[in-house]
Amino acid sequence: MASRFRHAALVGKYQAPGSRQVLASVAEFLTNQGLEVSLDTTTAMAVGLPDYGALDAAQIGKHCDLAVVVGGDGTMLGTARQLARYGVPMIGINQGRLGFMTDIPMAEFRETIAPMIAGDYEEEHRTMLEGCVKRPSGDEFDVIYETFAVNDVVVSRGASAGMVELRVDVQDQFVANFRADGLIISSPTGSTAYALSAGGPILHPGISGWLMVPIAPHALSNRPIVLPDDSEVRIEIVAGRDASVNFDHQSLASLLHGDRICVRRSEHRVRVLHPRGWNFYATLRRKLHWNEGVLPDGAHS
């Protein structure tokens, strides 16, 4: 069977027990499928597989046409943030727990990935968030931090402090001042993460929208809202001590009153490859245990 790809980058959850043996097995399989295999530099330094080269993100973007990610969704998110700008598609092998994005079970990776390498797969593009923190400097604002997020941007109160007060504007239109433990701006991908546990709805990844979800709001009428993803969301710290912001759990602590967190849609999109027949609803049934029902043909899900 001919290969659709020529050079795969292998990224691993190297902290997991037995990760070296797992990554060696995946690397050997990919090589046997006719692909050149390189490890990302962090994985290579951690597991030490000398038979394979090591590449950083920019080199992967230049030389590789596929990334195989072994781990959980956290590993997949970190890889996506690094590789989205280069347009490298990713395949996720689940070595974690839930695995909404790493949807190939470790025990089935050989029979599942072989046809994908030959070109038989479903390709999905997911939007990313791009955000920055601006701090007042005279009459201007200085950008003190900027990065990407695949799941969400979360502004939250300090560990020992009370609520924060946040002013929210969408596309220069004032929305409200929220008093809450925090506020989540989530992509459709992130709607099954923190936003879901905070009471937000699930968004299909094909929807062009963001979720804005207050965390434990003071006013019970502060409800989650779906926003168009072509608008910039601006969150200003009005009151509260030790507020922080994190982008997919990359944290910037000790925000000051007057700091602004600006969130917009990134020009980059995440490319994810799934096995043929994959669909989002089947993933929800499996991962959220909606599998007590009966499918239309009478077979149990």
pLDDT for residue 202:
97
Do residue 99 and residue 192 come from a single domain?
Answer: no
**Closest to 19 in 3D by CA, of 111, 117, 106, 116:** 106
Q: Report yes or no on 98 lying in a domain.
A: yes
Domain check: are 133 and 113 in the same one? no
Residue 143: give its domain's CATH number. 2.60.200.30
Residue at 275 is within a domain: no
pLDDT at residue 132 tops 80: yes
Domain edge (last residue) among 72, 94, 119: 119
C-alpha–C-alpha distance, residues 293 and 137, integer Å = 58
Same domain, 133 and 261: yes
Query: Phi, psi (5° rounding) for residue 248?
Result: 50, 45
The number of domains in the chain is: 2
- Average pLDDT (104-128) is 95
251 DSSP β-pair partners: 246
Q: What is the pLDDT of residue 251?
A: 83
- Does residue 16 lie in a domain region? yes
What is the chain's mean pLDDT, rounded? 91
251 and 173, same structural domain? yes
When pLDDT is averaged across residues 272-293 and rounded to a whole number, the result is: 87
pLDDT at residue 161 is higher than 80: no
Residue of 127, 291, 294, 112 lying closest to 207 (CA atoms) = 127
Which one is predicted more confidently, 162 or 269? 269
At position 249, the amino acid (one-letter code) is: H
Statement to judge: residues 140 and 193 lie in one domain: yes
Would you call 197 exposed, middle or buried from its count of C-beta atoms within 10 A (0-12, 13-18, 19+)? exposed
Q: Domain boundary at 119, 136, 153, which?
A: 119
**Residue of 63, 101, 100 lying closest to 83 (CA atoms):** 63
Taking Cα atoms as reference points, which of 50, 85, 51 lies closest to residue 67?
A: 85
Same domain, 182 and 263: yes
Q: In what order do the strands lie in the sheet with 250-252?
A: 225-228, 209-215, 182-186, 152-156, 244-247, 250-252
**β-bridge pairing 173-180 and 152-156:** unpaired
Decide which of 90, 119, 148 is a domain's last residue.
119
Residue 297 lies in a domain: no
The band of 98, judged by pLDDT with boundaries at 50, 70 and 90, is low
Q: 234 and 132 in one domain?
A: yes
Amino acid at 220: L
pLDDT score recorded for residue 301: 44
- Is there a single domain that holds both residue 185 and residue 89? no
User: What pLDDT shows up at residue 229?
Assistant: 95
Host domain of residue 51? 7-119
Q: How confident is the model at residue 188 (pLDDT cuts 50, 70, 90)?
A: very high
Task: Give, in degrees to the nearest 5, the angle at Cα 101 between 50 and 243.
Answer: 100
Say if 290 falls within a structural domain.
Answer: no
Clarify whether residues 221 and 93 are in a common domain: no
* Residue 300 is assigned to a structural domain of this protein: no
**Residue 73 bears catalytic tag:** yes
Q: Determine, yes or no, domain membership for 25.
A: yes
Task: Pick the more confident residue, 32 or 289.
Answer: 32
Domain shared by 146 and 182, yes or no? yes
Q: With bands split at pLDDT 50, 70 and 90, how would you rate the model's confidence at 48?
A: confident
Q: Which two tokens stand for residue 127?
A: 């939007």
pLDDT at 275: 95
* Residue among 73, 103, 248, 259 flagged as catalytic: 73
Q: Buried b vs exposed e over 91-113: b needs ≥16 C-beta within 10 Å?
A: bbbbbbeebbbbbbebeebeebb
For residue range 201-248, list pLDDT tens digits in order.
Answer: 999 999 999 999 999 999 989 999 999 999 999 999 999 988 999 999
Verify that 70 and 165 share a domain, yes or no.
no
CATH code (residue 108): 3.40.50.10330
Residue 294 lies in a domain: no
Beta bridge partners, 40, equal 55
Closest alpha carbon to 42 in 24, 31, 54, 27: 54
Instruction: Specify the higher pLDDT residue, 151 or 287.
Output: 151
Residues 137 and 71 placed together within one structural domain of the fold: no
